[in-house]
Amino acid sequence: MTTSAEGPDHPASGNDPRQRPDAPGAPATPGARRYPPAPVSPPPPPVPTTRAELAALIDHTMLRPDATSDDILKTCSDAAKLGVAAVCVAPTHVYLAAASARLDGRMPPAGSPGAGGSGDGSRPAYAVASVVGFPHGNHLTAVKVDETQRAIADGATEIDMVIDIANAVDENWAAMETEIHQVRLAMPADAVLKVILETTLLPDATIRSACRAALAGGAEFVKTSTGFHPGGGASIRAVRAMHSAVGGRLGIKASGGIRTAAQALAFIQAGATRLGLSGTADVLAEMPRDPS
């Protein structure tokens, strides 16, 4: 186990195989990895002012273990009407959600202009995300790789993967990076990997180090929470730590316990670029209507 001063923020020293030589001119030792340097005061993302702008940042989520096919179809129908970025479902529901996304992309817009998908069949109405290693993260890496490959084959274009959380608690960055890298290799280049850190369990310095390990492993996003851990979901504290580490270089997804528009906007002001919500319609109803 490394000390609290080690990790991607502060490289370990000596012969530790987890060494991260970041200094210019450091010797290229076998197996050594380099983490990108910390950004300098990354600017926060723009804050949405309308329903459509906020909807475009939302993963509309249905991950209840008792969710039925009808629940998934309703989730997808709502996603098309609301204009969200993606739906996030369990692996068993990916095929149905992907088929619905393609159908919704062919349907004429419903309701207000621009709602209900692209309407021309050129692309699905929303992306489909699947969770991997969910919700505890302590699956074997080979199992996560297999889950990923199956989800991609069923139509997912985004993967929300739970890390082996013990690796972050233990500050075992080599193991964490390797696991993320193996999952990323199982995905097409244009797919999106989001890495769930379960930040409620981690202090800020560990969150920052974990974010940089995710960056080095090839992820496109870091994500706060599964929403299923008893310790809690997203926090402004965690998002700020994530933004300070990788803002502008990785997307940041806040998920777990976001139930109002005020909360959603606060997370974006802190640095989030994507939000995971189940009560999407209620949150969007609190936003100003889009210009006609």
Token look-up 């379960």 returns 198
d(CA 264, CA 280): 10
**Domain-located, residue 105:** yes
Q: What is the pLDDT of residue 117?
A: 46
Q: Is 194 a catalytic residue?
A: no
**Quick check: is 30 in a domain?**
no
Burial 195-224, CB ≥16 within 10 A → b, else e: bbbbbbbbeebbbbbbbbbbbbbbbbbbbb
- Mean residue pLDDT of the chain comes to 86
The β-bridge partners of 272 are none
In a domain, 159, yes or no: yes
- Identify whether 36 is part of a domain: no
For residue 233, give both structure tokens: 């979901």
Report the candidate in 244, 163, 174 with the shortest Cα–Cα distance to residue 201. 163
User: Does a structural domain hold residue 155?
Assistant: yes
Look up 74 and say whether it is catalytic. Answer: no
Residues 149-166 have pLDDT tens digits of 999 999 999 999 999 999
Domain count of the fold of the chain: 1
Contact by Cβ (8 Å): 208, 238: no
Residue 37 lies in a domain: no
Residues 240-267: tens digit of each pLDDT: 999 999 999 999 999 999 999 999 999 9
CATH of the domain at 77: 3.20.20.70
What is the domain range of residue 157? 51-285
**What parts of the chain have a pLDDT lower than 70?**
1-40, 107-122, 292
Q: Is 8 helix (H, G, I), strand (E, B) or coil?
A: coil
The verdict on residue 19 lying in a domain is: no
Q: Phi and psi (nearest 5°) for 2?
A: -80, 165
Domain-embedded: residue 249: yes
Choosing from 81, 144, 194, 253, which is the catalytic residue?
253
Q: How far apart are CA 4 and CA 191, in angstroms?
A: 34
User: One of 81, 160, 164, 194 is an active-site residue; which one?
Assistant: 160
User: Within 13 Å and on the Cβ side, how many CA atoms surround 59?
Assistant: 30
Q: Which residues, 6 or more positions from 277, have their beta carbon under 8 angstroms from its beta carbon?
A: 58, 59, 60, 61, 255, 258, 264, 283
Model pTM score: 0.83
Predicted local confidence at residue 37, as pLDDT: 59
Is 81 one of the annotated active-site residues of the chain? no
Half-sphere exposure of 97 (CA within 13 A, CB side): 35
